[in-house]
Structure 1
């Protein structure tokens, strides 16, 4: 099983069946330092992405933020998606962790949560119109500086 495949709890809200495969591709793209276009294409043209204090709206800002994620201390990242909690069929919370390998040779694992809202775009693809990640960046900063 892919580390990008999250498990949705059984319950009364039926998850859009396209969401699990969407996240499999999204996190594979997120972990690929060369997949900038595919990463940005996962969002709507006016989509908003928030990671901590970083915020981007629209594909130009999303591309700048995405490239910036690979210009710092992180050499590689590997996401693990554990659970998907649907509010509605296209509005979900996620929980997982991410393994970072830093340029200085140190490794760090950080837990994260995220909120994603989806829409079907004009070309009939499922895309996120909103994606917010909650994680503590202090462990990466500490490992990078020591």
Structure 2
């Protein structure tokens, strides 16, 4: 099992399909991969063609559709040397297990030698039409995080 989800508390009222758990795990494996081309994999493996990916850093961190998502990680490693996401808890907002909220934390190694752990919350919507084909995809990933500690550590 991956470190990303080894201590995750998964919901018990609505069981998440293993395919959805794998999709979430793969999303964060790609997030932790220090490859500026990881966005290409996000577009191919994670999101629907019209998917929306919103990171924590404001309007410049919004990517809509395959072409934009492919470019989403081109500058993601400018000031960062390492990322290690850990999902603490997953909440389900619907009976099908398609509307999810995640709480987690990420350890960041910075190029200036500092390191920081930052908490985040994320909403993920699994496309209900595609889930039944056995290869779920996200139509939305939206991240909230107080990025001020990260910005302060970068100084």
- Same fold per superposition (TM over 0.5): yes
Task: List gaps (5 residues or longer) in structure 1.
Answer: none
Query: What RMSD over aligned residues (CA atoms) do the two structures have, in Å?
Result: 1.9
Question: Which residue matches 1:125?
Answer: 135
Deviation at 1:121, TM superposition (A): 6.8
- Any residues of structure 2 matched to 1:1-146 within 5 Å, and which? 1-5=1-5, 6-11=8-13, 13-34=14-35, 35-41=38-44, 42-52=46-56, 53=58, 54-70=61-77, 72-88=78-94, 89-119=97-127, 120=130, 124-145=134-155
Task: List gaps (5 residues or longer) in structure 2.
Answer: none
**What count of residue pairs does the alignment treat as equivalent?**
143
Q: Which has the higher strand share?
A: 1
In the superposition, the TM-score normalised over structure 1's length comes to 0.88
Report the Cα distance in structure 2 between the residues aligned to 1:40 and 1:137, rounded to whole angstroms.
25
